[in-house]
Chain A
Amino acid sequence: MPDNWGFVLAAYAIGALVLGGYWRRLRRRERQARQRPAIRRAPARPALSTHPRPDPGARP
């Protein structure tokens, strides 16, 4: 029976691509998840500091 190394390497390569690809996806999502809380907090601060007159709604 012929050795078919091509098929073997194809299978291993696809394995590496799929598993590696999923790993990269997880890494990307982790980075996004870490950035999001920072983005939400940032706009709040400038609004308070640059507002000239007291906003009746800002301080309960």
Chain B
Amino acid sequence: MLGWLTVTGLAAGLIMGLGVAPREVTQGNVQRIMYVHVPAAWVAYLAFGVVLVASIVYLATRARAADRLAHASAEAGVVFTGLAIVAGSIWGKPTWGTWWTWDARLTTTAILFVIYLGYLLLRGMVDDPDRAARYAAVVGIIGALDIPLVHFSVLWWRTLHQPPSVGRPQASAMDPIILTTLLVNVAAFTLLYLYFVVRGARILRRQEEAVA
């Protein structure tokens, strides 16, 4: 059922993003890439938040379900982070003239990507599953705790990126249709993330049962 909901959401997001939403005034149609980049980035942060909570729960309770959740969420998170970076880069080429700049948000996202790639690498290299779970939980927690530090340090180091348009106290100068389209896509991506995590965790459980 989650699957069908996801498909509906994605379809709606696609239609709105490419068709319904109007052509943005300053950037032109390139702005539509934001309907991919922003939701992906949002899901990435959500995924790593889940990794943090699940890792803490695992270390506290040693519940295997928590470990599977952390693993599945980290994997999905890496996928969405990678997508966010690529989409952001594609948006940047016509807008800023280059594929990559070391601006605050792109850099932070890239570091996030590498941290959680390391998380997955660690899991792959530790043979004992119990040890892998414990080590991964520690890395998951430290990685997540590091995110605000990374964010501020990179921000102070560079400030080129546009300030975030959603969630700002002052009224956004954004067209309401654009805002709605953005939120629809965010919801769709979130559903897709949930679908990935549920499925991923289920696969992990089956793999554990097969070995047991």
Contact = CB atoms under 8 A, between A and B. Distances in A.
B131 interface: no
B203 A30 contact: yes
B86 interface: yes
B210 A40 contact: yes
A3 B31 CA distance: 10
Interface residues of A, number: 24
A18 B189 CA distance: 13
B90 A7 contact: yes
B202 interface: yes
A58 B33 CA distance: 64
Contact of B206 (A7, A18, A19, A33): A33
Contacts of B36: 11-12, 15
Contacts of A8: 18, 29-30, 32-33
B61 interface: no
Interface residues of B, number: 33
Interface in A42-59: none
Contacts of B207: 33, 36
A19 B192 contact: yes
Most central of A2, A8, A10 by chain B CB within 10 Å: A8
A14 B32 CA distance: 14
A15 B33 CA distance: 10
Contacts of A22: 76, 79, 196
Most central of B14, B18, B26, B29 by chain A CB within 10 Å: B29
Nearest to A3: B29
20 contacts: A1-B27, A1-B30, A4-B94, A7-B90, A7-B93, A8-B30, A8-B32, A11-B37, A12-B33, A15-B36, A15-B40, A15-B83, A18-B82, A18-B83, A22-B79, A26-B196, A33-B203, A34-B206, A37-B209, A40-B210
Interface of B: 14, 17-18, 26-30, 32-33, 36-37, 40, 76, 79, 82-83, 86-87, 90-91, 93-94, 192, 196, 199-200, 202-203, 206-207, 209-210
Which 3 residue pairs are nearest across A and B when measured between Cβ atoms?
Answer: A33-B206, A36-B210, A1-B28
